[in-house]
Amino acid sequence: MKTKNKIIVVIAAVAVVLGCFIYVFNTPYMKVRMFNGDCITGSFNMTVNGMEYIPTEITFGYDNNETSRLTTSGKKFSIKGGRYGLYNIVFYLENDTFADIANDNLFKDYPSNTPLRLEHYNSNNWNITNIDIKAKLEFEDEEWILDVNISYRYLTDDYKTYSTKEIKFSYEYKDFAKHGGEISLGI
């Protein structure tokens, strides 16, 4: 009888420990901390004079010197990320291609590639961020204007809900092309 009681107590103790283990690792906090996917994802959509444009070169850097895995697929990108610090995502806009698309040789006066640099400051190592970039280069009032709209979605402190910020910029492309563009965002 004593052996039977011991077996029941051991089984109950194992069940309690296993139940606690499952509960703890299924809380939103632990799911985020144990997240193994890409922590920074997004898309880049651009039109030039109404025609779709996809840059052929995208680079990524972490804290200005270290690189990590950057995956691109057409308009989508993802970065392993997940560490505290500054992430640089650079889309190189090809002015020779713009000259062909827009049928305007003015673009050939600019450097061959103009960097559109996004600086994402990751203030917490658990952040999961989605950055959707929509850029439009249009000829308005005798000037080429670059409009950049960014939808920046990130996980909030409760580890359950997401918050979204909208960021909008507008540049005269001649100034942007000569100096390169830098957009800082982060939480």
- The alpha helices in 56-127, defined as continuous H runs, are 95-102
pLDDT, position 42: 87
Q: Which residues pair with 105 in a beta bridge?
A: none
Per-residue pLDDT of the chain (187 residues; tens, 9 = 90+): 578 888 888 888 888 887 767 666 665 555 555 555 567 888 999 999 999 998 888 887 777 665 555 666 768 887 776 677 788 888 889 999 999 999 999 999 888 888 888 888 777 666 778 889 999 999 998 999 999 999 988 877 777 788 898 989 888 998 888 776 666 655 4
pLDDT, position 8: 85
For residues 147 and 57, the answer to whether their CB atoms sit within 8 Å is: no
Phi, psi of 3 (to 5 degrees): -65, -40
